[in-house]
A and B are shown apart, each in its own frame.
Chain A
């Protein structure tokens, strides 16, 4: 079958979501799904169409041992692999690393040297496809009282109407993210860092950007989708 034909593809997606396929056909379809973005979209559309049928299924409380097994497993995974290596957005580590070196070289060396302050710590934030999209850097030798972060977008990010981008510090471990405030959609900008945030900055493990209601999250924690994240790396 030729799955680049929209109608065949849609039929395959519908049967896949309905779940009537044998194991062998299902496995073949899953292999196709890995490479075929159009098929993934069709599958998502069918999941949405049929989702209300789930309303007919009654809820049953699972025994407490299920939650214990889950927490044991995510706890172990983190001890083994560390904080950043199991973050979903960080999958294409190799791709990001090489891009990171390029970006770093650009930031550090390629612009008018006299105007550019030396950088002490830097984060390259990547999207869920591991593509670098933003560089956040902390200039060296700023006094603790008046720290500021420089933000450079590598491509214009689309800001949905009525929304704001908010920058977060990720303390790592089980600690919750701490806001650095709302940022503009401008390609380059500088934001002031409060004293409290300045004290936390040297200790965090990463930064992230989420999409929030205009003016920033109402809850004090990220409430919208996290679109970018990356580790915070000390270089000076």
Chain B
């Protein structure tokens, strides 16, 4: 991916966030230039509507600007911190009380997901963390793996997963719960 070649190291993003904490607008513009396409992609996948994703991206960057000083305390990678802001805003948007009732058609989405989750693990090898996660994902059953990937990347709720994977709600909840438990013990084992 051409965009990734120019993607800056975490240290560079950290330095930009520090300058944002001191209200350096040039640093903020640079941060936006480096990260907005990736973060827009994250919002778009979850929200599936460009106008919503634009709204959420805007909210998220205003939030990043206002809370850049809190990043120092977050002790996470800058991209993880910013992605969490965007994912949380997207999910909040998607789970608004009115929004949950409107039935967006997921069938096309699920088709797409089946395609790109056929072998998503190969792409997951860019960092040590990523290859550890990729290895641990292979230990899951394929249903567990698919429901976790669908939920994380596309923001599907338990009941949406149940509808679109054509399984009872209880089964979905069990897949997810067991999958997360196995992931956790595998990842934490790898770290120690």
Contacts and interface: CB of A to CB of B under 8 A. Distances in A.
Interface of A: 10-11, 14-15, 17-24, 26, 44, 47-63, 65-67, 69-71, 73-74, 77-78, 83, 86-89, 128, 168, 170, 174, 176-177, 208, 210, 219, 221-227, 229
B26 A128 contact: no
Contacts of B97: 23-24
B127 A52 contact: yes
Contacts of A208: 22
A87 B42 CA distance: 27
Contacts of B133: 49-50, 52-53
Tell me the interface secondary structure of chain B in the complex: helix
A18 B100 CA distance: 17
Contacts of A23: 95-97, 99-100
A222 B127 contact: no
B120 A47 contact: no
Nearest to B36: A62
B24 interface: yes
Contacts of A89: 21, 69
Contact of A51 (B21, B79, B155): B79
Contacts of B42: 54, 57
A55 B123 contact: yes
Interface bin, chain B:
35 or more
Contacts of B114: none
Contact of A226 (B1, B21, B77): B21
Nearest to A174: B25
Contacts of A210: 18
A79 to B, nearest CB: 13
Interface in B21-56: 21-29, 32, 36-38, 40-42, 44-46, 53-54
A208 B40 CA distance: 32
Nearest to B12: A223
A225 B36 CA distance: 22
Of A22, A50, A224, the most chain B CB neighbours within 10 A belong to: A50
B32 A222 contact: no
> Which 4 pairs show the lowest CB-CB distances between chains A and B?
A225-B72, A23-B95, A52-B130, A88-B69
Given A18-B151, A174-B24, A128 B72 contact: yes
A20 B156 contact: yes
B87 A19 contact: yes
Interface string B128-152: 0110011000000000000011011
Contact of B41 (A44, A48, A59): A59
B25 A57 contact: no
A26 B92 contact: yes
Contacts of B62: 70, 73-74, 77
A175 to B, nearest CB: 9
Interface in B133-192: 133-134, 148-149, 151-153, 155-159, 161, 176-177, 180, 183-184, 187
B69 A226 contact: yes
B66 A88 contact: yes
23 contacts: A19-B151, A20-B157, A20-B161, A21-B95, A49-B187, A51-B83, A53-B124, A54-B79, A56-B123, A56-B124, A56-B153, A57-B41, A59-B4, A61-B36, A62-B54, A63-B54, A66-B57, A74-B62, A170-B23, A221-B15, A221-B19, A222-B15, A222-B22
